[in-house]
Chains A and B, each alone.
Chain A
Amino acid sequence: MNASALAAVVPCWSCKGPVASRALFCSVCGAVQGPGAIDHFTRLGMTPTFDLDMDALERQYFGFQRRLHPDRFASKSGKEKALSQAQATSLNDAYETLKDPMKRAAYLLTLLGHPVDLTACGTINDRALLMEQMEKREALADATTPEQVAKLAVEAESEVIACQCHISAAFNAADLDGAGHLCIRLKYLAKLAEEARAKKSRITRMP
């Protein structure tokens, strides 16, 4: 209790007085503070959950950027410019992570002490997932007419959405193993959907 109270107060770099360690600005002298080590949800003022209100997330992100972006500090001292850049960088990091369902799920799993490795790409341990993905890829490669490609793109898109729903259900049931597996599945589904979309726009825009 006492330790956390101590950690909550740090000296403001500008007026040297006490300021809350999570404060964006010093309440006495108004100087912008550093971003500090807080999680992405806290940084954007959101409850840590997979089922984020995306409109609220965007509002929060814009709201914070409006106050902290380096453009707001163009006439300020060098130190304030540097701190605002650090703040804006942290906000971008938080927003880019939270707005993407796959990254959000993986981040939340990490916060909950159950990390999933999405960067170990190329290898699919799950046999069923592997077979499914190979079939879908072949189907996309074989599709030649705009109608076929459009149909596959819609299918891929709806599977992505379905997978996100399953992830949400897994988190709500506190099934972190399940959420982890679905997260990997989502990674491949999203990649396929992106390729289908790209092929669709290539094929439909051909003169």
Chain B
Amino acid sequence: MLLQLSEPGESPAPHESERGLAIGIDLGTTNSVVALARDGTVEVLRDAEGKGLVPSVVYYGGDGAVTVGQDARRMLLEEPDHVVSSIKRLMGRGVEDLKTLAGTLPFKLDVAADGGMVRLSVGERILTPVEVSADILRALRARAEAAQGKTVDRAVITVPAYFDDGARTATKDAARLAGLEVLRLVNEPTAAALAYGLDNAAEGFYAVYDLGGGTFDISILRMEKGVFQVKATGGDAALGGDDIDHAIAEHFLAERSATHGEVAITAGEAKQALAAARVAKECLSSRPEGEWVIEVDGKPSRHALTRVQLEDLAAPWVERTTAICRGVIADSGVDLADIKGVVLVGGSTRMPVVRRKVREIFGREPLSNINPDEVVAVGAALQAEALTVGSDTLLLDVTPLSLGIETMGGIVEKVIPRNTPIPVAMAQEFTTYQDGQTAMSVHVLQGEREMVDQCRSLARFVLRGIPNMAAGAARIRVTFTVDADGLLTVAASEATTGVEQQVAVKPSYGLTEDEMATMLRDSLEHAKDDMASRLFAETVVEARRSVLAVQAALKVDSDLLSPAERQDIDGAIGQVDTAIATGDRDTVIAATEALEAATKVFAERRMDRGIRAALAGMAVDRLDDALGGE
């Protein structure tokens, strides 16, 4: 590490060491993984048995206890009604969406009166997917803190590239509930490419094929001069190894019915059949055939399965990934021949049939030497280190889905097409269609299809106060802003009057700020401390920035001050340092404001001098310094 020099009496820049550790989290449908990077070396944080995978399963005991992971999965058989799995599939989804989800959901749903966000009925509790995900994140955070003996308060969390705005917001909300500041949401395929060090590899195009438990993603990335660009991305948020498990389980149950007769299957029996199906699928990756047992109605039955049969059962899903791959490649405008490598991600890519298909699509052997279950978390950890310590690698992402608004006739007018580099802001003008129309409803949608009912509704709001004009005369400008995490803000304004309205898009199925606040209050004791300590940390960052700015100014312009004035400012700086030491946020805010007031005259004199110098053409050199490009 470089020596840090500071002037006497000057406080050094905020130390990273004052903050907690920053981890990388792969929050998966079936399993999650947490990893930590130090000096570019990544450690996957494992349990006592050496397992890095934490099953994304949560058990809610009758006594109020919450258990996550392997122990929770064991409870699947004993108390299936108290266990939640595959919750990621419900992130950011509304009750209406559930009909479109393939397979039987292993959840009991609480039918919400408002038809908004999905709520699960688990034992005696009613839970949102955000709360369940927060419990998983808390467990991962605790695992990292136990392993390192240090506070962990920041994370890079990965999401499928295909996640829409609602699901991304839900993920960020879950992290907040778990006391983690999200440094960045990174797309899973991008994280995988980072793990393979493709940012340092030969320049060119790479594909990432990610078939996990519940989601499929294919991304075409471009690596050039250390800059990492997502050219195109596509996938299906409800397609994965779980579907293949379901197909196998259904096959077993159908065989059983043929010999033992039809009976109603309990939730517990279905889960046991699914567990047997998963074991069968995993075994058949290394063996040509085998036999498995399921139990229904207290009677066990044996079922033989060969790899060939399994591949037939899996074929519809594997074919769907092929079709999506071809579409995304065509979309990216990249020639197949220019793709220099293919990275495999997700446990389902261990299946020989999947590897064969990938070889067939891309005409090359895929990269698979990093554990496909852990590769995403490894990349996330590297990115967490890059964001806190600094690095030369740059992740330039794109919007995964087009964003638009509803126009007449239920047609969606695209404002930001998919695969647009983010952050981005784009505006489009719309007009009224009735004489004297004074309000306009803005309906924000996400998706590729033409019609409103085929796209996902993100939010609705009403722009009021449009002046009374003839139809078509008003000019309503709707601006979409997407930040680097892919989260959307929409603003609308009327050009002739300047009437303006802004909404952070809390999606139709998301949590409101009030709900979040209540959950934060209701969650474990320390979550409150987490919130308070994060607010304090942010205030300190701001206070330190002010102090450093004043000190920098004093270094160049202190001759503008009398000794007494200088003493006042130094005193105010000292007050800020003292305030930070108290640990009280309000004290820090007051001291920072006092510093601002104490330097007001100084700032005015500096501006005067700057303008005078500019007028005399003498400041050209100094000003030009600041204009440099690269």
Contacts and interface: CB of A to CB of B under 8 A. Distances in A.
A72 to B, nearest CB: 8
Nearest to B395: A71
Nearest to A12: B549
Contacts of B395: 71
Interface string A173-207: 00000000000000000000000011001100100
B626 A15 contact: no
A20 interface: yes
A117 to B, nearest CB: 14
Contact of A63 (B545, B552, B630): B630
Contacts of B386: 71
A78 B607 contact: no
B394 A31 contact: no
A54 interface: no
B9 interface: no
A96 B394 contact: no
A77 interface: yes
Contacts of B556: 17, 28
A27 B622 contact: yes
Given A29-B548, A69-B394, A89-B481, A20 B627 contact: yes
A8 B616 CA distance: 13
A89 B480 CA distance: 12
A88 interface: yes
Nearest to A200: B330
Interface string A58-89: 11101111110111101111111000010011
Contact of B326 (A12, A23, A75, A201): A201
Contacts of A79: 542
Interface string B499-524: 00000000000000000000000000
B242 to A, nearest CB: 27
A78 B14 CA distance: 15
Nearest to A85: B423
Nearest to B629: A45
A201 B329 contact: yes
B597 to A, nearest CB: 12
A147 interface: no
Contacts of A96: 420-421
A196 B583 CA distance: 65
Interface string A1-29: 01001101101101111111011111111
Nearest to A23: B626
Nearest to A27: B626
Q: Which of A62, A63, A76 has the most CB of B within 10 A?
A: A62
A63 B629 contact: yes
B275 interface: no
Contact of B617 (A5, A77, A89): A5
Given A60-B630, A96-B420, A201-B326, A15 B184 contact: no
Nearest to B329: A201
Contact of B557 (A17, A78, A205): A17
B279 interface: no
Of the four ranges (under 10, 10 to 19, 20 to 34, 35 or more), the interface on chain B belongs to: 35 or more
Nearest to B14: A75
Interface string B589-612: 000000000010011001101110
Contacts of B481: 89
B553 interface: yes
Contacts of B541: 75-77
Given A15-B549, A29-B553, A85-B484, A93 B617 contact: no
A17 B630 contact: no
A92 interface: yes
Contacts of A18: 606-607, 609-611, 613-614, 619
Interface in B356-392: 386-388, 390, 392
B409 interface: no
B16 A92 contact: no
A26 B626 CA distance: 7
Q: Which of B326, B388, B395, B628 has the most CB of A within 10 A?
A: B628
A78 B538 contact: yes
Given A17-B610, A96-B420, A201-B329, A70 B630 contact: no
Given A17-B557, A20-B623, A202 B330 contact: yes
Interface string B15-56: 010010000000000000000000000000000000000000
A85 B388 CA distance: 17
A70 B16 contact: no
Q: Which of A12, A17, A62 has the most CB of B within 10 A?
A: A17
B463 interface: no
Contact of B387 (A75, A197, A201): A75
B545 A16 contact: no
A198 B333 CA distance: 9
Contact of B553 (A15, A75, A93): A15
A116 to B, nearest CB: 18
6 contacts: A16-B603, A17-B607, A18-B610, A24-B626, A28-B552, A75-B541
Interface of A: 2, 5-6, 8-9, 11-12, 14-20, 22-31, 45, 58-60, 62-67, 69-72, 74-80, 85, 88-89, 92-93, 95-96, 197-198, 201-202, 205
Interface of B: 14, 16, 19, 183-184, 224-225, 227, 326, 329-330, 333, 386-388, 390, 392, 394-396, 420-425, 481, 483-484, 538, 541-542, 545-546, 548-550, 552-553, 555-557, 599, 602-603, 606-607, 609-611, 613-615, 617, 619, 622-630
Given A17-B553, A17-B603, A202-B330, 12 more contacts: A9-B611, A16-B607, A18-B613, A18-B614, A19-B610, A22-B627, A29-B552, A65-B394, A70-B423, A75-B541, A80-B545, A89-B481
